[in-house]
Structure 1
Amino acid sequence: MPTGAIDYHERTKHSPRSVREGGRGLNFDNKPTPYKEYTGLPSKALADRIRPPQQPALAAIAEPTPDGDPARARQPDLETVTSLCYYAAGITKRIGRRDRTLFFRAAATTGALYHVDLYVVCGELGGDDGDDETGEPGRELEAGVYHFDPRTLSLDVLREGDYRGVLASASERAGVADAPLSVVATSTWWRNAWKYGGRTFRHAFWDSGTHLANLLAVAHALDYRAEVVTGFADRPVADLLGLEPEREAALEIVPIGSSDAGLESDPATDSGSTGVDPIDPDTEPLSPNEREFPLIHEAWSAGALESGAVDSWRSGRPAGPIGTREPGDGERIALEPVDHETASSRPLHETIRRRGSCREYEREPISFRKLSTVLDRAVRGVAMDSRFEDDPPLSFVDPYLIVNGVDGLASGSYRYHPARGELERLQAGEFRSEAGHLALDQRLAADAAVCVYFVTDLEEIVDALGDRGYRVAQLEASLTAGRLYLGTYAHRDLGGTGLTFYDDVVSDFFAPHAAGQTPMFLYTMGRPA
């Protein structure tokens, strides 16, 4: 019987004992490559000019949908796809270390193992509509199914022709049917499980969430409508992309743009839109001895959806937030975010290039206004198909904070209420040693100015959304954390990183306020050393 979400979560929890007894050496001779390399497939070079999105990062992450008209006058083209892929998953830094070069990607990934891949499914893009900025015709991309290769900044051609209807049918989502292109995020399990074993199913949503935070920000900076679709029939999408879910599985679909932006054909009526012939393209081995972890695939299978069951899964959930708790009666402290005119104007493209994962913090305080601004802009809710229009900013997780270094804000534990823009004080006092202990006894968390934990009631989530709800809660947490990354690195003197944690110890620390809840993600921020 497949491992359900709750069972999987329990079996992959960290505790002081499990970490102490579960250590194992890593075989670096068997370390998987961080790239998917096809053999014998044609490829198409992406645009030789990457158009950087100039909108300030704080503005790009602040809105769940673009400002103004969601349909841009210019149709997406090859340069659009280049910007989206590069700033979500491209190689943005090269650093020389001794006799080798380290390559860093646009989005944070556990262990720098880069197991998340992006696929593009599109109709014919670009052409005669022209480019708003240059007046020249946009560079064309033929209708097809493609895999983004960050090594070469190119697209591997998996299928030629318009297959958007397959995604539309699998997702039962109008936004997917209307979009000129959709990006599908996947995880190749072994590329992460080499180090993290069965916890990789968690990391799949942690890491795809940080990628999609970048992707949404870039789409919104370019004024394209974009949302995250978590509900779709898994098998048709896997068949479309030529995946075998035991090794690599689709996680989310992100439709970008709308038919109003120049789409002339209806993907629901295009040939090949209701079914596909199987493909099995050859790829280079990931490592000499690839291992399988049945627990990962069992957890994935438990949450898989069948064709025809998606709309009822999506619409059948109860109204209102799920897995969260009502506000308490603690003292309230209003945030003090800066306004649009005085906020950091660092462009999104510079922020993404600057972003790192801080490895050391100074125990110097950060300003309350900067903390307020990051929280205010980043925690406004994500456009997801599993959320209702009138849901609060966070529908499936609650954010809790440990504050140890913020000027003008007393050290202690807090709960953040994003709809009200307020922090609720839970406990006063400095908790540096506790913060370090919760994060697997890592000094990094003890030195951080702020630790932000996203927690949920997993039993409520699964009762309302089934085992697939686990994916949704993990993703809402990680996508929000991805926006916290961008909000943090929009400020010159701030740094941040995600960390893992002792699950039950976190729950106990925030009890009784977080009674029955379990952590999904931990993000830390502070002044980098």
Structure 2
Amino acid sequence: MPTDALEYHERTKHSPRSVREGASGLNFDNKPRPYKAYIDLPTKPLADRIRPPQQPALSAIAESTPDGDPVREKPTLETVTALCYYAAGITKAIERRGRTHLFRAAATTGALYHVDLYVVCGDLEDRGDDATRVESGLAAGVYHFDPRTLSLDVLREGDYRGVLAAATEHDAVADAPLSIVATSTWWRNAWKYEERTFRHAFWDSGTTLANLLAVAHALDYRAEVVTGFADEPVADLLGVDPEREAPLEIVPIGSGSSAGDPSDETPDLEPIDPDTEPLSPTEREFALIHEAWRAGTLEDGASAERWRSVRSDGPIGRRDPGNGERIALEPVDSETASSRPLHRTIRRRGSCREYARESISFRKLSTVLDRAVRGVPMDVRPADAPPLSFVDPYLLVTAVDGLEPGTYHYHPAAGELERLRSGEFRREASHLALDQRLGGDAAVCLYFLTDLEAITDAIGDRGYRVAQLEASLTAGRLYLATYAHRDLGGTGLTFYDDVVTDFFAPRAAGQTPLFLYTMGHPA
């Protein structure tokens, strides 16, 4: 019997004792490669020139709905290039101790890059006269994005969008000229993090898709994250074995290009099992990961549509505001906000490894929170949903000008912080963050917590994925909002689960942390 979400979460919690007793060295001779390398598959080069999205990052991340321009022209090969590159491409190379380290566009745990992107599209012709369209478009097919070569591996030829439409029974997928599917290859992360990899699958796909949504919206295309789909048909479409690599989310891009009736338009889905290079000399399996994935799967498109249609009278897993003192945020307006373009922000983004113990501006903190925590477009969230539907943001503040150090509950709909406790908590901030000094040196630690029992009671085991994803998508936007400011840096950290709950009690009683994001001045 599969391990359900609550059991999985409980069994993968960190505590001071579990970390102390579970510490072991890593076998770097067996470290998996951070890329999926196919053997003898044809490839399609992406566009020679990457056209960077010029919209300011703070504007691009503020989109809380999937809306794009309804008359926007169909995406092109250039569009696919920008989407893939700025979501999962190699954006910088850093020399350290005689070795070159390649970093991707989005933050991932341990820089192990276990999330891959697949493109499923109809014919995408580049705009221009007939003479320039022939070789520069992208034929209908199923492709895997290879960030090493900035190219697409050709998995299937033909229009298979109907498979995704049938697996989701979601209009946005059926109407999209292209969709991008995110997957996780478990071993590429489990080499270091073992069973916690199922958590990291949603942490890391969330930060990746935060970039993808921002780029799509900056280019004025409709885009949202679809979490409800029949898992096995999507895995079969991509030619992946869920015990090793599983589909996580689907992101339809654009509109007005229906895949038609799947029974009439979609080619027969013949099985494929393309050969790939071994990830490492010895690949280990962690049964708990696959069991947790299996517990939340959906059988077919009708099941996905029923699951998606479950609605609550209000947010699930969150806590009501209390009677604490309220401090209104003071975000700057669009005229005076940082105008750093999205493409430069993504290239600048890093994961800060050392903070200076200096105060940050309250207005900059306010602006980061205001733009990043407006809600993410997900299929399971109603159109009139509040900014956050499944998680609560709690702040541990150590150094913000004009804001008393202490703990706060952030209420994004009201744009207010509610003070919970006042006090100097640097030592506690470090301890909560797995006794990492970085947590104590940060100006702000922002935790996303939820009541998992309430989530799974309301929307089942797949709700675990959704809650993790809402937290990580929002954290991905926090990354971008932070690095849109020249003097700020940020990073995600791991934490002692129950110690965090106890620290934010009594407000957080019954909740559990899902993500920790820190920010401050880089040293």
Tell whether 2:141 aligns with 1:148. Answer: no
Give the match for residue 497 of structure 2: 503
Aligned pairs (5 A) from 1:172-321: 172-259=169-256, 263=257, 266=260, 268=262, 270-272=264-266, 276-307=269-300, 308-321=302-315
CA contact (8 A) 2:174 2:258 kept: no
Task: Tell me the distance in 1 between the aligned counterparts of 2:66 and 2:318.
Answer: 27
After superposition, residues 301-450 of structure 1 pair within 5 angstroms as 301-307=294-300, 308-450=302-444
Distance 2:284 2:496 in 1: 26
Pairwise CA distance, 1:277:
1.1
Instruction: Report deviation, 1:320.
Output: 1.6
Matched letter for residue 12 of structure 1: T
Distance 1:411 1:37, change over 3 A: same
How far, CA to CA, are the matches of 1:304 and 1:401 in structure 2? 33
Quick check: 2:41–2:155 contact (8 Å CA) kept in 1? yes
* Between 94-103 and 503-512, the greater mean CA deviation after superposition: 94-103
Give the counterpart of 1:491 among 485, 490, 493. Answer: 485
**2:84 maps to what in 1?**
85
1:472 aligns with 2:466: yes
Check whether the contact 1:77–1:141 (CA below 8 A) recurs between aligned residues: yes
Matched, 1:528 2:497: no
Measured on the aligned residues, the alpha-carbon RMSD in Å equals 1.5
- Cα 1:136–1:491 change in 2 (3 A) is farther
Q: 1:70 Cα shift?
A: 2.6
Structure 1, residues 450-508: CA drift from partner, whole Å, max 9, x if none? 00000000000000111000000000000000000000000000000000000000000
Distance 2:480 2:312 in 1: 32
Q: In structure 2, what residue type is equivalent to 1:358?
A: C
| 2:40 is aligned with 1:40 | yes
Q: How many Å apart are 1:136 and its aligned residue?
A: 7.3
Aligned residues of 1:404 and 1:448 also touching (Cα < 8 A)? yes
3-state SS, counterpart of residue 358 of structure 1: coil
Q: Following TM superposition, by how much is the alpha carbon of 1:126 offset from its aligned partner in structure 2, in angstroms?
A: 2.1
1:230 and 1:129 mapped to 2: Cα distance?
35
Number of matched residues? Answer: 521
Q: Secondary structure at the match of 1:480?
A: helix
- In 1, Cα distance between equivalents of 2:261 and 2:60: 29
Query: What is the correspondence of 1:509-524 to structure 2 with a 5 Å cutoff?
Result: 509-524=503-518
Following superposition, the deviation at residue 72 of structure 1 comes to: 4.5
Task: Verify the 8 A CA contact 2:65 2:383 in the aligned structure 1.
Answer: no
How far, CA to CA, are the matches of 2:51 and 2:313 in structure 1? 41
Aligned AA for 1:393?
P
TM-score with structure 2 setting the length? 0.97
Shift of residue 271, structure 1, vs aligned partner: 3.3
Q: Deviations over 1:392-431 (max 9, x none)?
A: 1000000000000000111010000000000000000111
Residues in 2 aligned to 1:128 and 1:48: alpha-carbon distance in whole angstroms? 15
Q: Is the 8 A contact 1:72 1:224 kept in 2?
A: no
Mapping 1:83-122, distance limit 5 Å: 83-122=82-121
Structure 2 residue ranges without an equivalent (≥5): none
The alignment partner of 2:487 has SS state of: coil
Distance 1:300 1:77 in 2: 34
**1:71-90 deviations in Å (ceiling 9; x for gaps):** 25322100000000000000
State the distance in 2 between where 1:478 and 1:325 align: 19
In 2, Cα distance between the equivalents of 1:136 and 1:383? 35
1:74–1:129 CA contact under 8 A, matched in 2: no
1:319–1:388 contact (8 Å) kept in structure 2 = no
* Contact kept in structure 2, 1:144 and 1:163, CA below 8 Å: yes
Residue 328 of structure 1: how far off its partner (Å): 0.7
CA 1:82–1:267: 2 relative to 1, 3 Å? farther
Amino acid at match of 2:278: P
Deviations 1:137-178 (A, max 9, x none): 593100000000000000000000000000010011000000
Instruction: Determine if contact 1:228/1:383 at 8 Å carries over to the other structure.
Output: yes
Do 1:66 and 1:221's aligned partners in 2 also have CA atoms closer than 8 Å? no
Q: Deviations over 1:242-273 (max 9, x none)?
A: 010000000000000001xxx37626355336
- Alpha-carbon deviations, 1:306-335, whole Å to 9, x = none? 012111111124232100011111000000
Q: Provide the C-alpha distance between the structure 2 equivalents of 1:130 and 1:349, rounded to a whole number of angstroms.
A: 28
Q: What amino acid maps onto 1:232 in structure 2?
A: F
Q: How far does the alpha carbon of each residue in 1:356-408 deviate from its partner, in whole angstroms, 9 at most, with x for none? A: 00000000000000000000000000000111111110000000000000001
| Percent of aligned pairs with the same amino acid | 78
Where in structure 2 are the equivalents of 1:6-45 lying within 5 Å? 6-45=6-45
Whether contact under 8 Å (1:164, 1:267) holds in the other structure is no
CA distance in 1, matches of 2:258, 2:503: 56
Q: What secondary structure does 2:154 align onto?
A: strand
Alignment TM-score, normalising by the size of structure 1: 0.96
Task: Write out per-residue CA displacement over residues 168-190 of structure 1, whole angstroms, 9 at most, x where no aligned residue.
Answer: 10011000000000000000000
**How far apart are the structure 2 equivalents of 1:522 and 1:110?**
12
Compared CA separation, residues 279 and 387, structure 1 to 2 (3 A) = same
